[in-house]
Amino acid sequence: MAQITNPGLYNFQVFSPNEIARFSTAIEDIQSGASDGIVIEGLLSPEEARRMSAQFKAMVRESPHDQIYHPTSFGHVFGATLMESDLDHYFRRAALARQAFEQLFLHRFESLVFGTLSRLTSRYGIHLSVHQHNQVFAPASMRILEPGYASLEAHIHQEFPMYFPSYQAISSQLDLSTELSFYIVLQKPDAGGELVLYDLQWQNTPPAMLQQNVFLTGARSEDLEPYDQMLLGLDAGDMILFPANRIWHKVAAVTGREFERITIGGFLAQARDVEEYRLFI
């Protein structure tokens, strides 16, 4: 069961995969503000999540996957993201990441994610994002929060295009004001690692907070400390979808000693020219 602290702060619907048909307008509802997000409990079985986590730990030690496994202040990231400045490099790494995710999910990562998201909307198709020359954006990355490391510090997705020029490649085709974030938990930490949603939304953000030099730093999380908070601690196999461009959030540091928090997820936003959401990171 997902552990939710202060559940009254935001309006989340929590349900199991066999109830998904009742949430066939979840994406539209999050977009309109009628909902603040959903959690699907047990999208993967605990055994599937355990097998993937074990295989992942072996995978990152070997070439070529060690090339897309990077240390960060919170632990590691596995994959490619548009925070890097060289787009050709990004697309090469994105191809490697997609192949690795398919290997981990026994060739059903994209079908699982796209199939699940498609069932959460009655209006939009869900697709990959493709750049010129058929270069495919990565639909996800993996985040590994390790015991003894920092939080994935407070941020909001409206910031990314302001600071990272590679975002132009995606903002030319997608309306990033509609951006949502999803992730699936592959391994739950023994303590900590909750998603923290602050009672501060984009439209009320004090302009002084938007400084690139505090992006993803602890100083930003300190600025947000006074705001009320809702915490979501998900189990291995659960999936979340939430408006990461509207609600300031962070992932709390892992305070347990043994298990890393391992998630796989990405972003999606509405295409500018057709009724489609497309994934990227």
Ligand X SMILES: O=C(O)CCC(=O)C(=O)O
Q: Interface with ligand X includes 43 (CB under 6 A)?
A: no
Angle made by CA atoms 45, 50, 56, in degrees to the nearest 5: 125
Nearest distance from C-beta of residue 33 to ligand X, angstroms: 19
Distance in Å from the first CA to the final CA of the chain: 28
> Scanning residues 231 to 260, which ones bind ligand X (CB under 6 A)?
244, 249, 251
Looking at the DSSP bridge assignments, the partners of residue 230 are 197
Which residue number, 100 or 244, has a Cβ lying nearer to ligand X?
A: 244
Q: Is the dihedral of CA 243, 129, 26, 48 positive or negative?
A: negative
d(CA 179, CA 271): 10
Q: Residue 265 CB, nearest distance to ligand X (Å)?
A: 5
* Token pair of 20 as six digits: 């998904």
Q: Report the site for ligand X in 83-102 (rule: CB under 6 A).
A: none
**Token duo for residue 104:** 């981990």
Closest CA to 100 of 155, 60, 151: 60
Least Cα distance to 41 among 22, 55, 20 occurs for 20
User: How many helices (H) and strands (E) in the chain?
Assistant: 7, 15
Q: Does 181 bind ligand X (CB under 6 A)?
A: yes
**Closer Cβ to ligand X, 65 or 143, answer by number:** 143
State the number of binding residues for ligand X (CB under 6 A). Answer: 10
101, 183, 215, 277: which one contacts ligand X (CB under 6 A)? 183
Q: Which residue lies nearer to ligand X by CB, 9 or 262?
A: 262
SS3 118: helix
Of 59-78, which residues contact ligand X (CB under 6 A)?
none
Q: Is 187 in the site for ligand X (CB under 6 A)?
A: no
3-state secondary structure of 31: helix
In angstroms, give the least distance from the CB of 21 to ligand X: 26
Least distance in angstroms from the C-beta of 133 to ligand X: 28
Shortest spacing between CB 183 and ligand X, in angstroms:
4
69-71/75-78 β-pairing: antiparallel
Contacts of 129 (CB under 8 A, 6+ apart): 136, 137, 139, 170, 173, 174, 278, 279, 280
Does 79 help bind ligand X (rule: CB under 6 A)?
no
**Are the C-beta atoms of 93 and 79 separated by less than 8 Å?**
yes
Minimum distance of ligand X from residue 63's CB (angstroms): 25
Of the two residues 138 and 251, which places its CB atom closer to ligand X in the complex?
Answer: 251
Residue 265 touches ligand X, criterion: CB under 6 A? yes
Residue 278 makes contact with ligand X by CB under 6 A = no
Q: According to CB under 6 A, which one of 143, 188, 220, 278 is a site residue for ligand X?
A: 143
β-bridge mates for residue 183, sequence order: 240, 265
* Least Å from the CB of residue 263 to ligand X: 3
- Least CB distance from residue 202 to ligand X, whole Å? 13
152 sits near ligand X (criterion: CB under 6 A): yes
User: In terms of Cα–Cα distance, which of 181, 261, 235, 280 is closest to 44?
Assistant: 235
- The contact set with ligand X (CB under 6 A) reads 143, 152, 181, 183, 195, 244, 249, 251, 263, 265
